[in-house]
Each structure stands twice: as C-alpha cells, then as structure tokens.
C-alpha cells in the first residue's frame, strides 16, 4: 500500500489525472471502474482538459460504473447515469452504467459483474471513500467476500446525495454495487480522499483493523493499492 499526500483538492485532481492517464498510456484499451462523487469530479475535469488539448486519449477505454441507485429512471437528476453524462465529457470506447429502473436489480447487477469478467476484468479501479468507510455502495457490514448485489443505503450515503437529488426524501434507499470481491480483483486500485471531514475515516481505513465496519479497510490487502489524499484528509495519519 502506498500513500501519497498532496497539498489540496486541486493538486489531488491533477495527481489523480496523472495516474489515470499513465494507466491509459500503458494500456490504451484498459477496462476501468470509475466512481461518482464530489472528489473525482475535478479529476474528470482535468482529464477532459487534457483530452481537449490533445495531451490524453481515452477513446479506446472501456468504463464500468461501480454502482447505481435502484428504483428511479436513468434520467432522474442525481443518478450516477446523469453524473457520468455530465462529468465524463471526453470520448470513451464504451461506458457501462447499471440501469436504475431494472425490473430485477439483483439479477441485473450480477449480470453487470459477469460482463466485466467477459471483458477481461478491471485493469484500473478508481474509488472514493465515504465518511462511514463505504466504497462504491459497500456499506459498513460488507464482508471481504461480498459480491455484486443490491444494498440498503446507509444514512450518510443518502445524505451525500441529497443536493443532487433535490432533497433527502428524493434519494433512493437502495443501490446496486460491485462487491468488495470484485473491487479487489482489479489489477490496480487508486483511492481518493479530500477534506478534513474525511480525516477520521482515512485513518481508520489505513491504520485501523481490517473490518467490515470500515469496508475501505479491506483494500489494504491489495497488492497494487494507492491512497491519494490531500493534507486535510491525511491530517490524522501517523505515517503521513
């Protein structure tokens, strides 16, 4: 496990874009798993700027979303589908996002994970971490062996999406997610964290016990794991 600390949110975006673009240079047709959330938005904007300048090309990359809500339409403001439309503004080979209106979401997300396997598996996985330690929609209580499934969303996860949905009441209470096992199967994992409000959970995930209470802690066993955090998020680490 590597820990890289940068000055602030903007430096984090640049550093994350550096890592993602390097991964694409190494393998132009990479299969990537990408998240939504406040933290990666600036990295995606940085990549878009590089693509516009001709400094990066992701047009052969296949992207899979790591999660999506359940019980709304794909056009509902706040869904991950809408997020990717708004923030992954550069050309990709393909973008796969689970259908939030799937009739059988449990079967759907299992099939989604199987499609990743048919594509050769995830070469590069980018993740954020929630204030309760969730990664993708793997909430506290998720085991290391957990696989793609429908989950009940914890209050902090729903709170984080209240603004984009327009209100807390509008945020679905369930989501589809790739499991911890599928995330750990990625060849390379990069986790982003920004802000002082993430400091306690960053310390728990990196320096505390590996436990289902902090799903991000399961990543520690990954052979190619990097935490990229700004100074505020790293402020409680003893080793930073």
Given 132, 161, 182, 230, which residue is catalytic?
Answer: 132
CA atoms within 13 A on the CB side of 22: 8
Long-range pairs for 112-118: beta carbons < 8 A, 24 or more residues apart: 112/64, 112/148, 112/176, 112/178, 113/147, 113/148, 113/178, 113/179, 113/182, 115/64, 116/31, 116/33, 116/64, 116/178, 116/182
Given 139, 161, 182, 230, which residue is catalytic?
Answer: 139
197 is known as an active-site residue: no
**In contact, 64 and 32? CB cutoff 8 Å:** yes
134 is known as an active-site residue: yes
**What are the φ/ψ torsions at residue 119 (nearest 5 degrees)?**
-80, 5
**In contact, 139 and 133? CB cutoff 8 Å:** no
Given 87, 134, 161, 222, which residue is catalytic?
Answer: 134
What is d(CA 117, CA 237) in angstroms, rounded to the nearest whole number?
Answer: 36
55 is known as an active-site residue: no
60 is known as an active-site residue: no
Given 9, 42, 46, 67, which residue is catalytic?
Answer: 67
Q: Which residues are catalytic?
A: 67, 132, 134, 139
């Amino acid at each position: 496990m590597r820990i890289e600390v940068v000055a602030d949110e903007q430096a984090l975006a640049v550093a994350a874009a550096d890592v993602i673009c390097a991964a694409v240079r190494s393998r132009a047709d990479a299969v990537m798993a990408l998240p939504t959330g406040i933290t990666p938005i600036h990295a995606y904007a940085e990549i878009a700027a590089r693509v516009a300048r001709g400094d990066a090309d992701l047009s052969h990359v296949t992207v899979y979303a790591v999660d999506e809500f359940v019980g709304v339409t794909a056009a509902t403001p706040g869904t991950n589908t809408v997020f990717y439309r708004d923030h992954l503004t550069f050309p990709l080979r393909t973008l796969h996002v689970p259908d939030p209106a799937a009739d059988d979401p449990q079967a759907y997300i299992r099939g989604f994970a199987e499609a990743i396997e048919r594509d050769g598996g995830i070469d590069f996985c980018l993740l954020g971490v929630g204030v309760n330690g969730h990664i993708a929609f793997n909430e506290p209580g998720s085991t290391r062996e957990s696989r793609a499934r429908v989950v009940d969303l914890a209050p902090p996860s729903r709170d984080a999406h209240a603004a984009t949905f327009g209100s807390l009441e509008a945020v679905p209470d369930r989501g589809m997610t790739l499991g911890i096992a599928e995330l750990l199967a990625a060849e390379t994992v990069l986790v982003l964290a920004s802000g002082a409000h993430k400091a306690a959970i960053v310390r728990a995930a990196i320096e505390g016990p590996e436990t289902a209470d902090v799903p991000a802690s399961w990543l520690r066993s990954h052979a190619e794991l990097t935490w990229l955090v700004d100074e505020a998020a790293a402020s409680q680490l003893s080793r930073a």
